[in-house]
């Protein structure tokens, strides 16, 4: 993202890995997010682990009230954690079942940690989509914790040596006994194993030598998502399926559908039994949490119907403590058996974020854009301590990008046009009217209050003759006296803080498709880029020079201009950076020559770029954050628990209250994680490589 309120300033927000080391990312929230799985230490029920859809593990030692990010199970960013189990003999030993979202990618398998989830290593079933994992009870000559049973899309596997080796115990190539979604083992007999598939349930009573379908009484094509073997009532088994919840008192020989839960709530992801009161059973469904006090004979919904419960723990260190994961809300906890719940997201940040924008006039104030939630625009005034929705906001999916102007927040629409955030009304309003007359270069200051004049006129029923701008805006840039909007139809300018926009001639052209625009803070220096050309104006758009862009370098995605100039004798030249589909190119001679930027930055597409003086921050399409302290000559990947992920955007903004800016620029650097929220970048001594030289392109 281009620098803000610096010598060369352009701001944009766009949607978008590895070593762990010094902490360089500081979370600003917002807390909460999607929980995919929960696991519990059998020896200490207050110790809980949480798994996400991108391989991250969080841990809690106080029954789910507070959380700590422990680590990531493996290097893949699409590693879905379906199950977490803790060794009953040693709470530091944890197993995680994973599958990869990308079909046929070879991801998935079992991972193991020996230090409570902080570091992980592979533990078998490479490339398998593992959907279920349990620790089997002890048997003759087998210690508790030695035997693991895993269900995969390929069948059922068992390990008798704590995950070191695995053996298939379901028939190879069986047309039916595959796509295993759930596993349960009889607590009284480890030879009795139940497997729920995408189609129907199966059972073995001899440790996998023979298997039988057990579906009498169950509707065909029932995806069996969860199986629970009653630990007290012999022969009693519960199963949840897409067709409803079933109970069997004959070890699965005959099933009866449980009544009382409506059809719309029958996507039940998990069934659990109260650890101290076996007749109390809970069902986590897509329409709330349900509870039965009579072994499933009758049920009552104990949460709102719009809660989609994704995982749960019953008995988290206290008899009535229930911990649940709720889609879009995160972790909720009840201390009275589910009668009342409160949020427990302290330390758990797992929001899908695709963009952010600072408030240039108010340090610590940010706007963020989330994915897959109805209230997708949130703001904070206190550096992330509290968050709130922006009030009346657009429909999710309509906004293309969000921007920080000198006069507040703006947004571009995917279908064309602009929105402005009216803080007095706590609402987003249509803004920016188009006038066809070409804009003459002007350096007169905008009159005070011009940004809100349009809104006041509309409220009074007075409208200017021009219609609202309807072009798709691909980029915006802001100088103190003039704003610019890049569109597929050409470059537009506004001299009244965005109230009206007019076309800008680029030489003889007014219709050149413009992908990117940058402007200096004083408005004199202006750069634009299309897919295959760059133009520069040194006089506010009065005259233009074309900069040659060799076709062999590929198409330009974005143009960035650094306020940190390259110096050659007495001349000072802005540093140009071009984001292409193959990598980041840099020019230190006004575009005459281009090289691959710096040692240490992979030659891969750069998703976004931010600059504060000589400090450059880049995020790549495939993940990771890279920092340069010397204007792009050398780079190093930032090291932290979070920096191994995918980042949707990076940007420069005012430093947080009480903190200093970078190199006297008045700016600090920030990053938005595609899965874990907003982060401030703490620039430390370990964040850069030794100096190197540019690599010739």
Instruction: For the chain, list the domains and their CATH numbers.
Output: 8-15+351-402+472-681 (2.130.10.10)
The predicted model gives 655-668 an average pLDDT of 87
Are residues 274 and 282 in contact, defined by beta-carbon separation less than 8 angstroms?
A: yes
- Model confidence band, residue 243 (pLDDT cutoffs 50, 70, 90): confident
The predicted model gives 340-354 an average pLDDT of 92
- Model confidence band, residue 4 (pLDDT cutoffs 50, 70, 90): very low
β-bridge partners, 421: 428
The predicted model gives 622-634 an average pLDDT of 90
pLDDT at 262: 67
pLDDT at 684: 62
pLDDT at 664: 79
In this predicted structure, the answer to whether residue 340 has a pLDDT above a threshold of 80 is yes
Using alpha carbons, select from 589, 591, 564 the residue that is nearest to residue 652.
Answer: 564
Which structure tokens are listed for 10? 């352009």
What are the strands of the beta sheet with 606-612, ordered from one edge?
A: 606-612, 615-620, 625-628, 636-637
Using alpha carbons, select from 507, 441, 499, 418 the residue that is nearest to residue 466.
Answer: 499
Within its chain, how far is the Cα of 684 from the centroid? 25
The predicted model gives 219-225 an average pLDDT of 83
In this predicted structure, the answer to whether residue 631 has a pLDDT above a threshold of 50 is yes
In this predicted structure, the answer to whether residue 299 has a pLDDT above a threshold of 70 is yes
pLDDT at 223: 86
Give the highest mean pLDDT range of 407-411, 449-453, 563-567, 573-577: 407-411
Q: Going along 521-667, which residue ranges are E strands?
A: 526-529, 534-537, 545-547, 556-568, 571-580, 584-587, 595-596, 606-612, 615-620, 625-628, 636-637, 647-653
- Model confidence band, residue 261 (pLDDT cutoffs 50, 70, 90): confident
In this predicted structure, the answer to whether residue 148 has a pLDDT above a threshold of 70 is yes
Using alpha carbons, select from 337, 341, 264 the residue that is nearest to residue 305.
Answer: 264
Please report, for residues 77, 615, 640, the alpha-carbon distance to residue 684 in angstroms, rounded to integers and kept in the order given. 26, 12, 12
Question: Cβ contacts of residue 170 below 8 Å, gap of 6+?
Answer: 155, 156, 157, 177, 178, 180, 195, 202, 208, 211
pLDDT at 434: 92
Are residues 678 and 665 in contact, defined by beta-carbon separation less than 8 angstroms?
A: no
Q: What distance in Å separates the CA atoms of residue 531 and residue 516, rounded to the nearest whole number?
A: 9
Q: What distance in Å separates the CA atoms of residue 672 and residue 653, rounded to the nearest whole number?
A: 13
In this predicted structure, the answer to whether residue 72 has a pLDDT above a threshold of 50 is yes
Query: pLDDT tens digit string along 672-695?
Result: 988 888 999 988 654 333 333 333
The predicted model gives 302-323 an average pLDDT of 93
pLDDT at 693: 33
pLDDT at 260: 75
Q: What distance in Å separates the CA atoms of residue 144 and residue 162, rounded to the nearest whole number?
A: 10
DSSP-derived 3-state class of residue 357: strand
Q: Tell me the pTM.
A: 0.81
Q: What distance in Å separates the CA atoms of residue 410 and residue 294, rounded to the nearest whole number?
A: 56
Query: pLDDT tens digit string along 158-190?
Result: 999 999 999 999 999 888 899 999 999 999 999
DSSP-derived 3-state class of residue 76: coil
pLDDT at 568: 44
Average pLDDT, the chain: 85
The predicted model gives 377-386 an average pLDDT of 94
- Model confidence band, residue 452 (pLDDT cutoffs 50, 70, 90): low
The predicted model gives 625-645 an average pLDDT of 85
The predicted model gives 331-359 an average pLDDT of 94
User: Of all residues in the chain, what percent carry a pLDDT higher than 90?
Assistant: 58
Helix then strand then coil, % of the chain, to nearest 5: 0, 45, 55
In this predicted structure, the answer to whether residue 214 has a pLDDT above a threshold of 60 is yes
Q: What distance in Å separates the CA atoms of residue 525 and residue 544, rounded to the nearest whole number?
A: 10
Query: pLDDT tens digit string along 57-70?
Result: 999 999 999 999 99
The predicted model gives 445-459 an average pLDDT of 47
Q: What distance in Å separates the CA atoms of residue 80 and residue 67, rounded to the nearest whole number?
A: 19
Are residues 525 and 477 in contact, defined by beta-carbon separation less than 8 angstroms?
A: no
DSSP 398: -
- Torsional sign, CA 197, 202, 205, 209: negative
The predicted model gives 204-222 an average pLDDT of 90
Are residues 515 and 523 in contact, defined by beta-carbon separation less than 8 angstroms?
A: no
pLDDT at 642: 72
User: Of all residues in the chain, what percent carry a pLDDT higher than 70?
Assistant: 87
């Amino acid at each position: 993202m281009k620098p803000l309120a610096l010598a060369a300033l352009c701001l944009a927000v766009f949607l978008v890995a590895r070593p762990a080391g010094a902490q360089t990312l500081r979370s600003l929230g917002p807390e909460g997010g999607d929980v995919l799985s929960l696991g519990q230490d059998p020896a200490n029920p207050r110790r809980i682990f949480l798994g996400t859809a991108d391989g991250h593990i969080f841990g809690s030692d106080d029954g789910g009230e507070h959380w700590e990010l422990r680590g990531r199970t493996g290097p893949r960013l699409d590693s879905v954690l379906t199950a977490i189990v803790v060794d009953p003999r040693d709470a530091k030993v944890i197993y995680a079942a994973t599958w990869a979202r990308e079909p046929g990618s070879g991801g998935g398998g079992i991972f193991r940690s020996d230090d409570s989830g902080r570091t992980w290593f592979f533990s078998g079933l490479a490339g398998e989509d593992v959907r279920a994992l349990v620790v089997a009870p002890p048997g003759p000559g087998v210690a508790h914790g030695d035997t693991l049973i895993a269900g995969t899309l390929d069948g059922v596997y068992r390990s008798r040596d704590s995950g070191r080796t695995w053996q298939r115990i379901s028939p190879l190539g069986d047309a039916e006994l595959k796509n295993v979604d759930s596993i349960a083992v009889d607590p009284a007999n480890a030879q009795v194993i139940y497997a729920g598939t995408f189609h129907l349930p199966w059972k073995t009573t001899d440790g996998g030598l023979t298997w039988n379908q057990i579906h009498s009484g169950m509707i065909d094509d029932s995806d069996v998502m969860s199986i629970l073997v009653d630990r007290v009532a012999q022969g009693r088994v519960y199963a949840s399926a897409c067709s409803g919840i079933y109970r069997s008192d004959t070890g699965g020989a005959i099933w009866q559908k449980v009544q009382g839960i409506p059809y719309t709530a029958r996507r039940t992801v998990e069934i659990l039994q109260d650890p101290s009161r076996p007749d109390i059973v809970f069902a986590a469904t897509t329409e709330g949490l349900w509870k039965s006090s009579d072994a499933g004979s009758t049920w009552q919904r104990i949460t709102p119907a719009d809660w989609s419960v994704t995982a749960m723990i019953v008995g988290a260190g206290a008899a009535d403590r229930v911990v649940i994961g709720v889609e879009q809300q995160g972790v909720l906890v009840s201390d009275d058996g589910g009668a009342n719940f409160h949020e427990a997201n302290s330390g758990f940040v797992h929001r899908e974020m695709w963009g952010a924008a600072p408030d240039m006039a108010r340090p610590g104030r940010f706007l963020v854009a989330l994915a897959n939630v109805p209230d997708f625009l949130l703001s904070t005034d206190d550096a992330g301590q509290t968050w709130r929705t922006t009030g009346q906001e657009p429909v999710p999916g309509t906004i293309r990008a969000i921007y920080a102007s000198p006069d507040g927040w703006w947004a571009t629409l995917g279908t064309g046009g602009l929105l402005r955030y009216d803080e007095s009304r706590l609402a987003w309003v249509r803004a920016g009217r188009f006038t066809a007359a070409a804009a003459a270069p002007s350096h007169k200051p905008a009159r005070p209050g011009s940004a809100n004049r349009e809104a006041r006129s509309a409220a009074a029923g007075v409208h200017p003759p021009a219609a609202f701008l309807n072009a798709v805006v691909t980029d915006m840039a802001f100088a103190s006296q003039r704003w610019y909007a890049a569109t597929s139809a050409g470059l537009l300018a506004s001299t009244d803080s965005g109230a009206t926009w007019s076309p800008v001639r680029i030489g003889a052209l007014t219709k050149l498709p413009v992908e990117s625009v940058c402007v200096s803070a004083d408005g004199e220096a202006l750069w634009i880029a299309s897919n295959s050309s760059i133009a520069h104006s040194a006089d506010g758009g009065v005259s233009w020079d074309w900069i040659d862009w060799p076709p062999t370098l590929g198409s330009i995605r974005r143009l960035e201009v650094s306020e940190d100039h390259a110096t050659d004798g007495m001349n000072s030249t802005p540093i140009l950076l071009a984001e292409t589909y193959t990598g980041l190119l840099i020019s230190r001679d006004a575009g005459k020559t281009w090289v691959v930027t710096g040692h240490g930055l992979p030659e891969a597409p750069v998703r976004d770029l931010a600059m504060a003086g000589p400090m450059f921050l880049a995020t790549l399409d495939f993940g990771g954050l890279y920092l340069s302290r010397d204007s792009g000559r050398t780079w190093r990947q930032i090291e932290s628990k979070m920096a191994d992920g995918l980042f949707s955007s990076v940007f420069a903004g005012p430093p947080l209250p009480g903190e200093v800016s970078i190199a006297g620029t008045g700016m600090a650097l920030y990053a938005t994680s595609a899965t874990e929220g907003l982060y401030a970048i703490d620039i430390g001594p370990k964040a850069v490589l030794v100096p190197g030289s540019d690599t010739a392109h």
